[in-house]
Structure 1
Amino acid sequence: MNSRTIYLFCSAAPPVFEVASVIESLQARGWDVCLGLTPAAASWVEESLSGLATLTGHPVRSRYRRPGEPDAWPAADVILFAPATFNTLNSWALGLTSSFVAGVAAEAIGKRIPTLAMPCVNAAYARHPQFEQSIEVLRSAGVAVLYGADTGFVPNQPGEQPPGGYPWHIALDAVEATAGP
């Protein structure tokens, strides 16, 4: 049994289809992984949900639990929100918690759970003025936003894939650096 728990949260962006290999990489690094998805991401990987639950050993969550329902996940030592879409980052930064993962990520700020986010947006979304404001709000609240040429995701042009793919390795290395041994 792994002693460190990570909540891996994903939005509906193409890298979500790589989540099984990301879970395996985290497990190889000694993490107990709990997977949370936005409702749209859950619908994208619907056929894989039961296999992902088996892989993690925990239910995959995309909805809030009902009042009085026990929490099926252990407490998080760290949260990684990747890929995080334009909508999700803005909702989170604005405190709009209609999705389970945005709500848990927002609450993590107040609970002081180390939290990292790596966007997955195209250059057109990145030019919207709210996007930079949301990144700054999250960073000022203590979230490590892995965005920019030196630190994480670099936006691609609309309709294009990022050269070299989504930089999962940067996110996983940042988790290790944040959490320590």
Structure 2
Amino acid sequence: MPFLYIVVCAAGVADDVGTLIRQAQQEGWATGVIATPNALALMDREALEELTGYPIRSAWRTPGQARPLPPADAIAVAPATLNTITKWAAGHADTLALGILTESYGLNIPAVVLPYINKAQAAHPAYARSRRDLEEMGVRFGSYEPHTPKAGGGRDRFDWHEALDLLRGDACGNR
């Protein structure tokens, strides 16, 4: 069974990541969650660990500590924040999530991103530059249109299943 890492960032829809986990499992993926440190407070850790059968990872392992997740066959970053997108594109690895993402390119692991950002964030030049750089690396982006700042976000328009659509077939395997 292929293994999907789901990297969860601290965005307003993070509490609903179970939707993607269940959809992925229905399509034959085993799943594990890697959360940014700030995302942990937005999720029901116990429920998600029960759903995946694995601990949520957020911190680095100590030397000699067993790897709690199997190797990834693919990665979905959902929801993705501006912070994670720009740091990933720049090659930063200051959190476990970013370390896994920056390594994914060198390991040829397909990755998809479902950004959840607002229009003001999307207008920053770093977003377009980072998105272009990641797309040149083979990363596929979802179609979510940024929402109006301070207006409650576009939760109703966030399509978790789009991550699986982007991963289906060889959509991400062409680098």
Q: Please report the TM-score for the alignment, with normalisation by the length of structure 1.
A: 0.89
Q: Secondary structure at the match of 2:161?
A: helix
The gaps in structure 2 that reach 5 residues or longer are: none
Residue identity opposite 1:30 in structure 2? G
Partner of 1:35 in structure 2?
A: 33
Residue identity opposite 1:129 in structure 2? P
Shift of residue 163, structure 1, vs aligned partner: 7.2
1:141 to 137, 140, 144: 137
Residue pairs, 1:16-31, within 5 angstroms: 16-31=14-29
Partner of 2:160 in structure 1?
A: 168
Cα displacement string for residues 63-97 of structure 1 (whole angstroms, at most 9, x for unaligned residues): 11112211111111110011110001011111111
Partner of 1:15 in structure 2?
A: 13
1:155 to 123, 128, 146: 146
Residue identity opposite 2:150 in structure 1? G
Shift of residue 179, structure 1, vs aligned partner: 7.1
Q: CA RMSD in A?
A: 1.5
Distance 1:8 1:164 in 2: 20
Partner of 1:110 in structure 2?
A: 106
The gaps in structure 1 that reach 5 residues or longer are: 147-151
Distance 2:156 2:68 in 1: 36
Q: Please report the TM-score for the alignment, with normalisation by the length of structure 2.
A: 0.92
Partner of 2:4 in structure 1?
A: 6
Residue pairs, 1:49-128, within 5 angstroms: 49-128=45-124
8 Å contact kept, 1:77–1:179: no
Greater mean alpha carbon deviation, residues 113-122 or residues 137-146: 137-146
Shift of residue 174, structure 1, vs aligned partner: 1.3
8 Å contact kept, 1:22–1:168: yes
Cα displacement string for residues 104-132 of structure 1 (whole angstroms, at most 9, x for unaligned residues): 01100010001111211100000001110
Report the number of matched residues. 171
User: Percentage identity across aligned positions?
Assistant: 33
Distance 2:139 2:19 in 1: 24
Partner of 1:149 in structure 2?
A: none
